[in-house]
Structure 1
Amino acid sequence: MKNAFLTLVWILSIQFITAQTDRIVVDHQSDGITLKVNGSNFMINGMNWDYFPIGTNYSYSLWQQPDAIIKEALDAEMTLLKNMGVNAIRQYTGVPPKWITYIHKNYGIYTMLNHAFGRYGVSVEGKWIAHTNYSDPIVKKQLLKEVTAMVEEYKNTPGLLLFLLGNENNYGLFWEGAETENIPTDDPKSKAQARAMYQLFNNAILAMKKIDRSKPIAICNGDLQFLDIIKEECKDMDIFGTNVYRGISFGDVFEKVKRQLNKPVLFTEFGADAFHAIKMQEDQKDQAYYMIGNWKEVYENAAGLGKAENSIGGFTFQFSDGWWKSGQTVNLKIHDKTASWANGGYKSDYKKGRNNMNEEWFGVCVKGPTNSKGLYSLHPRAAYFALKEAHKLNPYEKNMTVKRIEEFFSKISLQKALEEAKN
């Protein structure tokens, strides 16, 4: 019995040590840039993930529920994510480390942990400041305190892939609220504010690396705005993360980042909504069309394939619909059909002078009603099934070429995905 007990202790110790020793690095080679996990190239097939039952908003937290409820929610959602080939999710701070480990241990899914870095305001000395001034010494001190505390809390967490700072904070320099609006343009005043912000980003990265250098650190920018300032002020970031909504193609993103930053590109948000703003009805096939086009480019620009060779993956936006996104605090039980911003890249429902992007309809899954436990079920849309096929491709596979990727994606049937969604 004693020997059996000692053997069990030894096995558990080995498992614990193994779980702790995931080595995650950004690797620059002559044929491109990759993210390596334990020595192997790792393409991030990611998903923006959260848990908000219908009728709730950002004030709700799954992590404040009993452990049995959290486990049931995670088991349902992570099963669906694993089934579609997702290997990483984007989560904001607040998730207890044990659940990051639980997700990875049971489903093989990593977490990119995101600190908003003042995007939606900051609490300073007990006072809430809605619009963050990144040049204010007190604000700077507070944000540096928050991100270093985050690293201290999560630095030895099995299942943690990397740290992400911000969420298109450059747009926050223009927008007064948290709702998505039309993408702003530069002005001289905003450039001064942006410089102060990106300087603080870099100071935060350096402070975090003093505590833990075992995890890469990315920033989350809105598209390529202020890329010239980022080049000057954010030299110590490991990964350039960006939220990009340009329609079927990312355009010049890969080449510009390669030329100006020589950093890997990680799409922290991208995708399409499932609502047709002209027909005023759900359009699952259209959503899947844009997402598949985006992922094709993500894979084509991976290292070793002869194109930009700096793509390390992305996080599709998003797993399930956010019923609270329009209005934030009102009509939380209504699936709002009001488009809040315009984007000509999504040509199928774009009409000049009208908004066509529906914030509450970006889910690749439809959210069901809340049950007595406070949980809900999800019903996959066509995009879910199309992405499931897309994520079967490994761009680092031996003898992979851009032509092979094109052939692979040409065989993904949106009609078949639509039929699967109806079943």
Structure 2
Amino acid sequence: MKLVVNGEAFIINGMNWDYFPIGTNFAYSLWEQPEAFIKTALDSEMTLLKDMGVNTIRVYTGIQPEWITYIYENYGIYTMLNHSFGRYGVAINGNWESETDYRNADAQQSLLKEVGEMAATYKNTPGLLLFLLGNENNFGLFWAGSETEDFPEGETEKKEIGELRGRAMYRLMNEAAIQMKKIAINHPVAICNGDDLYIDIIAEECKDVDIYGTNMYRGKSFGDAFDNVKNTLNMPILFTEFGADAFNSITQKEDQKMQAYYMVENWKEIYENVAGLGKAENAIGGFTFQFSDGWWKDGQTTGLNIHDNHASWSNAGYAIDYEKGANNMNEEWFGICAKGLTDKNGFYTLSPRAAYFALQKAHELNPYAKGMTTDLISEHFKEIKF
């Protein structure tokens, strides 16, 4: 229930990181820019990340191995390499299918080929920490695309979709993990599930996966997540996404204190549940969502130069700005840094919010340190002001 790096217990103080200048969207790739541009962008961003105590970033495929090593050698920051595993579609025989049917033999073959090639390409890359498969792909069984929506409410419908489409997906994820670990023997393989939906199927189908990764947005507390994963899966839990937006849907204003409050509470629970402290003892860290605002998130392809304050889904766990019957989750405001306009050279600057400095203080603590207790963790977090 620990991640061990170079012989020592390693807590993942992670960050969901990307680089999208205002006016761009998912079609933009930093890794396709000139080498000098990439270095300048990385030097700016990684300096901020290192200074706040981040030791791992979550990055999707597309990054070249040399940049994983550059980030590690210059800033001491590891990379979790994320293959979306059909979340947004799959290439089959040269044709792009926008929705992945994991029961399709050609789709299966295509995805296994992709992750096998990824493992072979990156296996000896200095700075690579682990592989991640998917991005809440179970939620993708309900809607296409990456824009967050609300779920169907019927439990019967959820279960039917899980059996009809989900079981084949998890079985394939397990097959992928087996294949990848034969190729890249020193790197764990995690999956990324949406909350704990279908955890019972995962228990049956994903016995060779090393780590249960979850995108989980429950407000100030993860609730029963640690114990549920321990009792159902007997796996370590890694929070691949969690956090809060910095826009208050009630006041219709930026609310940095609200954002920092939720993130500090979440990290406190993660640290309290690491191995050796007497609680669930299966937490290995997390990846805060996210480093900078995504101005493209609402609408995806429209209004790319507008910082939209439209809330696209509701979550009662974030009680500070929740009102029954109204949406309160603002996709374009999840950054712990606000994003500035792009200059003539294509770069932007970031302005850290209160959450940045709060997490900087949080990450000063090593939950695996000798003599650590949950009381000491509690005392440390009480000292964080925002």
Same fold (TM over 0.5): yes
Aligned match of 1:182: 150
Superposed CA deviations along residues 343-366 of structure 1, whole A, max 9, x for unmatched, are 000001101111100000000000
User: In structure 2, what is the equivalent of residue 374 of structure 1?
Assistant: 346
2:179 pairs, out of 207, 217, 230, with 207
Deviation at 1:123, TM superposition (A): 1.3
1:369 aligned counterpart, secondary structure: coil
Match of 1:11 in 2: none
Q: Measure the CA separation in 1 of the matches of 2:303 and 2:287.
A: 28
Q: Please name the residue that 1:296 is paired with.
A: 268
- 1:293-332 equivalent positions in 2, closer than 5 A: 293-332=265-304
For the pair 1:383 / 2:348, whether they are aligned, the reply is no
Match of 2:135 in 1: 167
Counterpart of 1:344 in structure 2 is 316
Is the contact between residue 142 and residue 151 of structure 2 (CA under 8 Å) also seen in structure 1? no
Q: Does 1:123 align with 2:95?
A: no
Question: What amino acid sits opposite 1:190 in the alignment?
Answer: G
Matches within 5 A, 1:12-411: 33-184=1-152, 186-411=158-383
Q: Which amino acid aligns with 1:349?
A: D
Aligned match of 1:13: none
Looking at structure 2, the residues matched to 198 and 312 of structure 1 have their Cα atoms a distance apart, in angstroms, of: 22
Aligned partners of 1:96 and 1:189: how far apart in 2? Answer: 36
Aligned residue pairs, count: 382
Q: Which amino acid aligns with 1:356?
A: N
SS in 2 for 1:34: coil
**Secondary structure, counterpart of 2:303 in structure 1:** coil
Q: 1:126 Cα shift?
A: 1.8
- Are the aligned partners of 2:295 and 2:306 in contact in 1 as well (CA < 8 Å)? yes
Deviations 1:228-276 (A, max 9, x none): 0000000000100000000000000000000011100000000000000
**AA in 2 matched with 1:368:** G
SS in 1 for 2:349: strand
Alignment partners' CA distance in 1, 2:115 and 2:299: 29
Distance in 1, Cα, partners of 2:125 & 2:12:
19
Matches of 2:240 and 2:62, distance apart in 1: 19
Superposed displacement of residue 192, structure 1: 2.3
Give me the whole-angstrom Cα distance separating, in 2, the residues matched to 1:123 and 1:142: 7
Within 1, Cα distance between the matches of 2:151 and 2:240? 17
State the shift of 1:92 in Å. Answer: 0.2
What TM-score comes out, normalization by structure 1 length?
Answer: 0.89
Task: Map Cα deviations across residues 295-338 of structure 1 (whole Å, 9 max, x no partner).
Answer: 00000001100000000000000000000000000000000110
CA distance in 2, matches of 1:312, 1:187: 29
TM-score (norm 2): 0.98
Identical amino acids, percent of aligned pairs: 66
How many Å apart are 1:190 and its aligned residue? 3.2
Shift of 1:373: 1.4
* 3-state SS in 1 of match to 2:351: strand
Distance 2:186 2:274 in 1: 23
Aligned CA-pair RMSD: 0.8
For 2:289 and 2:329, how far apart are their aligned partners in 1? 13
Provide the rounded CA distance (Å) in 2 between the counterparts of 1:52 and 1:266.
25
Secondary structure of 1:235's counterpart equals: coil
- SS where residue 313 of structure 1 aligns? strand
For 2:208 and 2:112, the matched residues in 1 are separated by: 15
Q: 1:375, 1:304 → 2: CA distance?
A: 44
Would the alpha carbon gap of residues 183 and 288 (structure 1) be closer, same or farther in structure 2, given more than 3 Å must change? farther
Q: In structure 1, how many angstroms separate the alpha carbons of the residues matched to 2:249 and 2:101?
A: 36
- The structure having more radius of gyration, on CA atoms, is 1
Q: Quick one: distance in 1 between partners of 2:39 and 2:272?
A: 37
Residue pair 2:337, 2:353 contacting (<8 A) in 1 also: yes
Aligned partners of 1:173, 1:317: CA distance in 2, in Å?
Answer: 22
